[in-house]
Amino acid sequence: DIQMTQSPSSLSASVGDRVTITCRASQSISNYLNWYQQKPGGAPRLLIYAASTLQSGVPSRFSGSGSGTYFALTISSLRPEDFATYYCQESYKAPLTFGGGTRVEI
């Protein structure tokens, strides 16, 4: 099975900050990497698929990069509604593994 390692597990930031979350795969997964946002009490929301393609309706301050084993999610200027937990997920092969999550808090 492919292991997905996110870092950091949590971070503190302020409105307006540039934030980067990283995700490493235990083997090459090409660009088969998705990012999700989850707020407390809510279901996850797809932000980015295929490593760098923005899902419809997602603000352009979110961007994804990377391929192979190293990936990153960047929020260019943090807004109050961005405080949440973020997960990466590989879609290279089953089982479709998620990273452990990164909590972004004030």
Partner 1 sequence: EVQLVESGGGLVQPGGSLRLSCAASGFAFSSYWMSWVRQVPGRGLEWVANMRPDGGEIYYVDSVKGRFTISRDNAKNSLYLQMNSLRVDDTAVYYCARDKIVGPSNFDYWGQGTLVTVSS
> Of 46 and 72, which has the nearer Cβ to partner 1?
46
Cα 75 to chain centroid, rounded: 10
Check residue 59 and report its DSSP letter: -
Phi and psi dihedrals of 67, rounded to 5? -165, 165
> Of 32 and 62, which has the nearer Cβ to partner 1?
32
Check residue 80 and report its DSSP letter: G
> What is the residue whose two structure tokens read 């698929």?
49
**Least distance in Å: CB of 14 to partner 1?**
25
Q: What is the DSSP secondary-structure string of 8-22?
A: -SEEE--TT--EEEE
**Least distance in Å: CB of 48 to partner 1?**
9
Range 64-83, binding partner 1 (CB under 8 A): none
Contact footprint for partner 1 (CB under 8 A) = 1, 32, 34, 36, 38, 43-46, 49-50, 55, 87, 89, 91-92, 94-101
